[in-house]
Amino acid sequence: METKNCPKCGRLFTYVKNSICPDCLKEEEETFQRVRAYLKEFPGQSISQVSEATGVPPRKISKYLRDGRLEVTDGLSGFLTCMNCGKPIHTGKFCRECSTKLSKGFQSVAANPKETEKNGPRMHHLKNKDKE
Ligand SMILES: [Zn+2]
Ligand SMILES: [Zn+2]
């Protein structure tokens, strides 16, 4: 059996599969449940509001989201925003309107290569046209 020092509290513990000791793991779990319970009771909060109310750092709350333990649909607002217009979204990078708009825009640019040439001929990157 392997023993490790807990990176959180420094205590020696028997390493099984978790990288922190059982005590810290329990604490982590309680922290997570606190956030979860708070969101259940007060949906539609922003990360900073949740952080203030639960005492859990925003960094940790966003980690729960990235790890998929929490979802924005759990009642958290303002975490994911459209990279184009800043509107809150539940998934991906852009809101539905912008992704439609952007994919259309992208298509029209691709269909009119002269348009891009006109706007920035020096930025033209056809360097590897001899790649074949
Ligand atoms: Zn520990
Ligand atoms: Zn948008």
Q: Where are the domains of the chain?
A: 21-79, 80-120
State pLDDT tens for residues 41-88.
Answer: 888 788 888 999 999 998 898 888 777 787 766 666 666 677 889 887
Q: Indicate the burial class of 35 (C-beta count within 10 angstroms; 0-12, 13-18, 19 or more).
A: buried
Per-range mean pLDDT, top range of 28-37, 55-64, 88-97, 107-116: 28-37
Give one word for 62, left, alpha or beta, with left for phi > 0 and alpha for psi -120 to 50.
alpha
Q: In 2-24, which positions are buried (b, 16+ CB within 10 angstroms) versus exposed (e)?
A: eeeebeeeeeebeeeeeebbeeb
Residue 7 has pLDDT above 80, yes or no: yes
CA of 41 to the centre of ligand 2 (A): 29
The mean pLDDT value of the chain amounts to: 78
- Report whether pLDDT(12) > 60: yes
How many angstroms does the Cα of residue 74 sit away from the middle of ligand 1?
29
Q: Over pLDDT 90: what percentage of the chain?
A: 26
Tell me the residues surrounding ligand 2 (ion) with CB < 5 Å. 82, 84-85, 87, 95, 98
Nearest ligand to the C-alpha atom of residue 80: 2
Instruction: Identify the bridge partners of residue 2 per DSSP, sorted by sequence position.
Output: 15
Ligand 1 centroid from CA 30, angstroms: 14
Residue 115 has pLDDT above 50, yes or no: no
